[in-house]
Amino acid sequence: MAQSNDLNLELELLQGELEEENAPDPLDLIDAAGPDQGISEAELLEALDNLRGNYEQSMQGLKLFCEHRDARCHPLLVPLLQSSCPIQRMSAVYALGRNPYSQALPLLQQQFRLDSNSYVRKALAWTLGNYADADVTGDLLQALRFDNAAVRLWSAGSLVDAALAHPDQLEEVTSELLLTLQVDREAAVRSNCAWGLGRLHPKLPPAEQQVLEQGLLHALLHDCDSGVRQDARSALEQLDDGEVLGRLQTLVDEGLIG
């Protein structure tokens, strides 16, 4: 998934294009690690003050807290989740993903179920992955099954984080990602599932690991998209399993894969 630190520029682009089907979305460009460097206390205080201001001021404050962490922003971000402007709601969601705030989680989950704007829901799918220690799996599974492609893609990644934080949910999440890898109509979603399954593999018992490996091998051999096939292969290669690597080499020797 392409990411960078150009969230400010993308929000400006999105301002005039949000309703267009192919409008750029800052979540495609946000850096999940975040560059918490080069920011002064004066700049943070100005951004906090901006969150209390008018629309233009609050947007400036939101842009900063989409990239930087400071717990003082928490109570100022929550009211912006209820904004009538989808850009402002989306930005507040991003900022609460960068600055997780446990008291905001119930509101974020409710908004994930009810918000009519797909850009906001996509941001929520990403943000809930930063609350993986909480029980967010049910909402993310629902989105993976029924929402649009962009929301499904980010829900798949956040589901992996949630399952890693809750071992009792590993089996359910693994099964759902395997099913999505087989049936989702969007190649990008299938690729993200392959990547996520590779992350889950070490945490599974041997029998479930074998089922996962078979699912990835099936995608490698039979998916109609070359990118998904490559991602499935990469996931298998990164398992560092001698038997799996041997099977891959056999497929190469037999000319079934390059």
Residue 129's φ and ψ, nearest 5 degrees, are -65, -20
Stated pTM of the model: 0.85
Q: How many domains does the chain have?
A: 2
Same domain flag for 209 and 258 = yes
H helices of the chain, where?
Answer: 7-15, 41-51, 55-65, 74-77, 86-98, 105-114, 118-128, 137-146, 149-165, 170-183, 187-200, 206-222, 226-237, 242-253
255: left (phi over 0), alpha (psi -120 to 50) or beta: left
Same domain flag for 176 and 107 = no
Which of 105, 131, 157 represents a domain boundary (last residue)?
131
Same domain flag for 258 and 175 = yes
164 found inside a domain: no
21 found inside a domain: no
94 found inside a domain: yes
At 240 the pLDDT is 80
149 found inside a domain: no
Same domain flag for 175 and 251 = yes
Same domain flag for 119 and 192 = no
228 found inside a domain: yes
Amino acid 6 reads D
Same domain flag for 123 and 189 = no
Range of the domain at 58: 42-131
Same domain flag for 185 and 247 = yes
DSSP helix/strand/coil, 191:
helix
Same domain flag for 123 and 181 = no
Give me the tens of pLDDT residue by residue for the chain, a chain 258 residues long. Answer: 434 344 554 555 455 545 444 444 555 545 544 555 678 999 999 999 999 999 999 999 999 999 999 999 999 999 999 999 999 999 999 999 999 999 999 999 999 999 999 999 999 999 999 998 999 999 999 999 999 999 999 999 999 999 999 999 999 999 999 999 999 999 999 999 999 999 999 999 999 999 999 999 999 999 999 999 999 999 999 998 889 989 999 988 888 887
144 found inside a domain: no
Amino acid 151 reads V
Same domain flag for 113 and 50 = yes
Which of 131, 161, 183 represents a domain boundary (last residue)?
131
92 found inside a domain: yes
| 213-248 exposure pattern, b = at least 16 Cβ within 10 A, e = fewer | bebbbebbeebeeeebbbbbbebbeebebeebeeeb
Cβ of 83: how many Cβ atoms within 10 Å? 16
Check if the beta carbon of residue 235 is closer than 8 Å to that of residue 216: yes
23 found inside a domain: no
Same domain flag for 63 and 116 = yes
CATH number at residue 77: 1.25.10
